[in-house]
Amino acid sequence: MSRVLLLLPTTSYRTDAFLEAATRLDVEVTVASEQSNSLAHLNPAGLLTLDFTNPLAAAECVATFAQRYPIDAVVPVDSQVVAVGAAIATALGLRHNALEAALCAGDKYRSRLQFQQAGVAAPEFRLCSFAEDRPELASRVPFPCVVKPLKLSGSQGVMRADNPQQFVAAVNRLAAILACPEVSGAEGDPAVVGCGADAAPAADPAQEFLVERFVGGPEVALEGLLTGGKLQLLALFDKPDPLEGPFFEETIYVTPSRLAPETQEEILSCAQQAARALGLTEGPVHAELRLTATGPTVIEVNPRSIGGLCSRVLRFGIQCALEDLILGHALDVDFEVPALSRQPAGVMMIPIPRAGRLCEVHGLERARGVAGIDDVTLSAHLGQRLVPLPEGAQYLGFLFARAESGEAVEVALRTAHDQLEFVIEADAP
Ligand SMILES: Nc1ncnc2c1ncn2[C@@H]1O[C@H](COP(=O)(O)OP(=O)(O)O)[C@@H](O)[C@H]1O
Ligand SMILES: [Mg+2]
């Protein structure tokens, strides 16, 4: 029986989806995480603890493990483990992206440089240092602009500024976010992060950040699979809520896209160019693009699949999930990707309306009863301290819908969201 190594940070939302896919494909699983975890039902060969911050050391550790328990595929499930995945796959001679490409994709500045060099449409950018004089810097950046960290995800720390005052405030705020130990210690998707005012300063906070020209227009998310450098489209999501800032909460994703087929072709071609520019060749791709008057513009391309529980809306053929495709590809199984279900479906990531402690949740049954709603899943728990964007990177939960049209999916999601009431007790001043 084949064995797949899943790199699963303990904060990942993706555990169940990948374990279920492994069961369907009848493969053995070893779960590697950064802490000894609670998947106690797995046998000793099923668990491994790795230092995700040190790709080469992690690869060495896995190589030793693999002498006893041979590994046929490695799958990093979230952005924070993409580089480790590439290092391990290289050490074991498995199908994956080159480490250099994975590192490049994990750094927004390096990605922008590669896009620029390859002539891929992407926002104009400038690398800035926190040591620079901020009001002076404000006189040299374009407005409106976006201030962002180089290595976080989930829109954490991403802020729009329309004028010099907003710019200086955004840079100050980003500096505070990056100085928070939980953030500087974990590159990637910190699922539960909160920067308390009294947090101790980090040992080595980031020195630099990116400023980009704000690119307006509708945004889409593309899910694809790379094989030998060729990008195959798996699903295209419309994001019907306008993303104008100042913060960029992801809310509703609806698929199939309602865009014209020619536009969808252009999006795929732009994402393909971007993946090539980064040197990505194998495995899942999650790309975000804006549609401008001159065509699609790449916001980012990540060598991983869609985050959170969102992949649940994707159904390929009968009983085939996105994770089945990712595992099958990593194992080098020869298969045809079954067609994505044409039935319109969507997900809403429930944003955190304000900071505080989650005390009560009302209306769950009403939300579940809304026509078209498949499921409502809360990911925050009662008593949890909630931190909204841009400091936090959490969601309250996920709403899933299926209906006869994309519009009906949106209506179902919004109606169900309206039924929910979250009682949040503000933090004591
Ligand atoms: N230059 C830009 N112009 C317009 N919107 C942007 C720009 N950069 C980021 N955004 C918005 O912020 C969101 C998050 O930014 P992104 O670079 O994708 O960071 P993250 O890795 O945290 O998702 C994007 O999905 C987009 O809506
Ligand atoms: Mg993004």
pLDDT digits (tens, 9 = 90+) for 80-107: 999 999 999 999 999 999 999 999 999 9
Domains of the chain listed by start with CATH number: 3-104 (3.40.50.20), 124-213 (3.30.1490.20), 344-429 (3.30.470.20)
Antiparallel, parallel or unpaired: β 47-49 and 28-33: parallel
CA distance 59 to 89: 8
Tell whether the model's pLDDT for residue 12 goes beyond 60: yes
Q: Report pLDDT for 30.
A: 95
Q: Report pLDDT for 335.
A: 85
User: Quick one: which H or E segment has residue 417?
Assistant: helix 406-419
Tell whether the model's pLDDT for residue 193 goes beyond 80: no
Percent of the chain clearing pLDDT 70 (strictly above): 93
Quickly state the pLDDT bin for 202 (edges 50, 70, 90). very low
Q: What is the DSSP letter of 192?
A: S
Measure 382 CA to ligand 1 centroid, in angstroms: 30
Q: What is the mean pLDDT of residues 310-333?
A: 94
Q: Decide: helix, strand or coil at residue 408.
A: helix
CA distance 10 to 393: 15
Q: What is the mean pLDDT of residues 129-158?
A: 97
Tell whether the model's pLDDT for residue 195 goes beyond 50: no
CA neighbor of 322 nearest in space, from 252, 188, 191, 232? 232
Ligand number nearest CA of 157 is: 1
Sign of CA dihedral 165, 168, 170, 172: negative
Strands, E assignment, 28-149: 28-33, 47-49, 73-76, 125-129, 145-148
Quickly state the pLDDT bin for 38 (edges 50, 70, 90). low
Q: Report pLDDT for 194.
A: 34
Pick from 143, 158, 214, 310 the residue to mutate for probing ligand 1's pocket: most ligand atoms within 8 Å of its CB: 158
Q: What is the DSSP letter of 312?
A: G
Pick from 156, 299, 395 the residue to mutate for probing ligand 1's pocket: most ligand atoms within 8 Å of its CB: 299
The 356-362 sheet, strands edge to edge: 385-386, 356-362, 421-425
Q: Which of 83-87, 102-106, 193-197, 407-411 has the lowest average pLDDT?
A: 193-197
Q: Report pLDDT for 315.
A: 94
Mean of the per-residue pLDDT values of the chain? 92
Tell whether the model's pLDDT for residue 187 goes beyond 80: no
- The crossing angle, in degrees rounded to 10, of helices 322-330 and 15-25 is 60
Tell whether the model's pLDDT for residue 201 goes beyond 60: no
Tell whether the model's pLDDT for residue 217 goes beyond 90: yes
Q: Report pLDDT for 184.
A: 58
User: Quick one: which H or E segment has residue 292?
Assistant: strand 283-292
Q: Which residues line ligand 1 (CB under 6 A)?
A: 123, 146, 148, 152-156, 158, 212, 214-215, 219, 243, 248, 288, 299-300
**pLDDT, tens digit (0-9, with 9 covering 90-100), for 154-164:** 999 999 999 99
Tokens read off for 191: 């699922």
Measure 212 CA to ligand 2 centroid, in angstroms: 14
Ligand number nearest CA of 219 is: 1
Is residue 6 within 8 A of residue 30, CB to CB? The reply is yes
Ligand number nearest CA of 250 is: 1
The 219-227 sheet, strands edge to edge: 295-302, 283-292, 219-227, 230-239, 252-255, 345-350, 397-402, 373-378
